[in-house]
Structure formats: C-alpha cells, structure tokens
Amino acid sequence: MRKRTNAEDAVAASTGQIKTRKIDGERDVAPASDTSDELPSSQAADDAADADARVDSMYLDTVDRSVLDFDFEQVCSISLSKNNVYACLVCGRYYQGRGKHTHAYFHSINDDHHVFINLSTLRAYILPENYEIHDRSLNDIKAAISPDYTVLSIKHIDTRCEYSRDLAGKRYRAGFVGLNRIKSNDYMNVVIQALAHIQPIRDTLLLMSDLDNQTALVQRLALLVRRVWHPKLLKAHVSPHEFVQEVVNRSKHRFRLDTQCDAFEFLTWLLNTLHLDLGGTRKRASSIIYQTFQGEIGVVSQKLEHARMRSDEDDLILLDTQNPFSEKKQPFLTLSLELPPKPLFNDDEEEGEDNMDNAGRKSSIPQVPFGSLIQRYNGSVSVECQGE
C-alpha cells in the first residue's frame, strides 16, 4: 500500500477529509468525523430526560387510587410509629422507612409493591431500588394528602358554583361535603361544618403557612378544613378521624368518640382552646378567634332584695332605680339561646306555615324565628341569676 506524501496529507487535511495526529514522532492518519452525525446538546439532554421519565414511570401503572385514604392517622401499620411514614400507593397501607431492613422495604419485596410516598415531605420513591421519581401524574395524590391554597385560589371560593367529581364519578361541591360519622361524633361534625364556613376562620386555616409549628389540634383542624374545600377529592366525603382523636386527648376524654355530648359545650371548649393554641391572650385582637367571635354585652344587675316585688311568678323581674344597681360590660364568645319546649301533641288544624320546612313539608320540630330568640339580649328582658 502506498503511503501518502506530506503534500497529499496537507491537501486532504485542508478539505476536512482526514485528521492528522502525531504519535511517537510519526504521523498517524485518522478519518475525519462527520459533524453532521453528532447530536446537538439540547437533543441529547431531551433524550436523557425521556429515558429518566421511562424509568420513573416503570411502576406507575400499578398505583391504585381507589384504595387510597389519607384521612386516618398516619402511623406505620406494623410498628405503629409516626416517624418517617410512607404510604404504599398500590395497596394504601402505611409503612415506616424506605431503607434496607425497614417495613416499607420488606413490603416492596414480599408483596411486589414498588411505589411509595412520604406523608410528610410528599416525595415519591421506587422501592426496593430506593430512587426518587418525579412525575406529574402523582400531583393529585399529593394534593389529596396535603391540599395547598393561595390567596388567588380562595378569592372567589364563596361564589364558585362548579361541581366536581370523585374517582367514582360522584358529584360534589367543594365546601359542602359530608363528614363521616364514626360513632357518636355527629356533635363534633356540626361544629366543624360551621367553622369551615366562617370566612375569617376558614381563610386563616387555608392559608396558614407555619402549620408545622402549630399544635396538633390546629394542624388537624386546618387539614380537615382544607380537605373539605378541596375541589379534587379522591372520595366525595371526608373523615374527621385524626381531629376527633386529638380532641379526645386534649379534652382529657371530656368529649368522647363513643358518647353523645352537647355541641354548644364542645364549641365553647374548642374556641377557647384554639385561642390559646394560636397565641391568644386576654386582649381582644390577640388571635383570629377573638377577632371573629368576641363581643361585649352590657349587663345591669341588682340584688333581688332591692328589686320590685312581683305579683305573680310569671311576671318579669323589674329593676328599682331608686335602689343601688351596677352596670358593667362583659366580653363573650358565644351567647346561649333558649329554645321553646317541643309540644307533646300537634294539632293539625292549628299548624300553620311556621311549622313548614323550606321544601313545604310538615316539620315535627317547631320553627321559631331567630328574632324572637335574640330578644333575650335586647336590654329589656330581666333574668334571675345567682341572687341578682
């Protein structure tokens, strides 16, 4: 084979046909690379991203949203630990850890379930390989675990009339979903539903940014209200299980899950407890609870021995301005109203429109106008209390 001369090499190099390099004092000739076959850096990056996405989505088809329920207490189903808990997105059970020799690791091997999500950080992993995945298809699950709101998203929350659908296709409206009755916790459910629709309280709980620094009671209530107003629920109902358990612990079993209690007493306890948990003091504007609920009522009191005598027991007690009396203003969070007793017998002929409900049906509960109930605090009604 004839070797190229230096002149031929120079011509070939100038035309880009070959590359020359010097090895140990000799000239070595190598074919020139075709730059048109090289992939651009952006295309190479896209191909790498596509490859990573294929790896990430390898087990995502095994995720079963119908078995997921994040309303219950987030503890490991084996060790009952609350630390570093992961949810298996295939069967819905909770397991602790993701490293070797952890319950989640063994579950992934024994049951061939591979997709897990951390219930605190909301980061998803594939086990037992133990690598993190980033896929937008899991965003609905992350939102179901911990719904997030912004000022813009709740700006028109009261006027939004769109209906949503859960996984089963059931229609519901955000903010008007049912709360599960576990045993006898219906008295708690009515209070939760009422607080969830009081705008200052609701907006504070929805937008609370330092939720991790709050007490467990505030965290449970905020998460419950956020789920009630979430427009993309997996199921069209919410369970207050975690909140009820925290109430039982904080109230030292005064309000129980298996015993029917008075809703007004529970509301009073809850408002005062939330006020203290939110850093409230005796000052009126020290917490959102006092800002929303606290008012003042003027009380004029007089000893019964100085009041005017009544001619009949049914007559009202009247103040005697000639004798000493005292005036003071008392703060309040709630005012109790006395409902009239339910009649033993209903006379069909005397039943009028007052005992008809909104649908025009006959109601067994007497319908009393709110204006007549509030007359107790109009400044002209006397009440006997503690000898005054």
Distances (CA, A) of 386 to 298, 301, 309, 338, 378: 17, 11, 17, 18, 21
Q: What is the pLDDT of residue 197?
A: 93
Q: What is the pLDDT of residue 21?
A: 43
* Beta bridge pairs of residue 80: none
Strands (E), 25-153: 26-31, 85-88, 94-96, 115-118, 124-126, 131-133
Q: Comparing 79-88, 190-199, 352-361, which segment has the lowest mean pLDDT?
A: 352-361
Q: What is the pLDDT of residue 334?
A: 83
Helix count and strand count (H, E) for the chain: 11, 13
16-31 in b/e form (b: 16+ CB < 10 A) is eeeeeeeeeeeeeeee
| Helical pair 216-228 and 186-195, crossing angle rounded to 10 deg | 70
CA distance 219 to 242: 10
By percentage, how much of the chain surpasses pLDDT 90? 33
Name, of 43-57, 101-115, 278-292, 368-382, the range with top average pLDDT: 101-115
CA distance 298 to 328: 6
* Residue 329 tokens, joined: 């203003």
Q: Comparing 1-10, 60-69, 213-222, which segment has the lowest mean pLDDT?
A: 1-10
Residues 89-128 have pLDDT tens digits of 999 999 999 888 999 999 999 999 999 999 999 999 999 9
Closest CA to 223 of 136, 120, 152: 120
Are 191 and 255 within 8 A, CB to CB?
no
- The answer for residues whose C-beta is within 8 angstroms of residue 58's C-beta and 6 or more apart is 126
Q: Comparing 48-52, 74-78, 112-116, 235-239, which segment has the lowest mean pLDDT?
A: 48-52
Q: What mean pLDDT comes out for the span 230-241? A: 89
Burial of 372 (0-12, 13-18, 19+ CB in 10 A): exposed
Residues 128-171 have pLDDT tens digits of 998 999 989 899 999 999 898 999 988 888 888 888 888 888 99
Strands (E), the chain: 18-23, 26-31, 85-88, 94-96, 115-118, 124-126, 131-133, 164-165, 171-172, 178-179, 237-238, 295-301, 326-332
What type of residue sits at position 380?
S
Q: Comparing 6-15, 247-256, 350-359, which segment has the lowest mean pLDDT?
A: 6-15
Q: What mean pLDDT comes out for the span 268-277? A: 93
Does residue 254 register a pLDDT over 70?
yes
The confidence band for 271, taking pLDDT boundaries of 50, 70 and 90, is very high
Distances (CA, A) of 78 to 69, 72, 94: 17, 15, 8
Closest CA to 182 of 71, 68, 65, 262: 71
Q: What is the pLDDT of residue 30?
A: 42
Q: What is the pLDDT of residue 27?
A: 42
CA distance 246 to 255: 10
Q: Where is pLDDT greater, at 238 or 339? A: 238
Residues 78-99 have pLDDT tens digits of 999 989 999 999 999 999 998 8
Strands 237-238 and 178-179: parallel
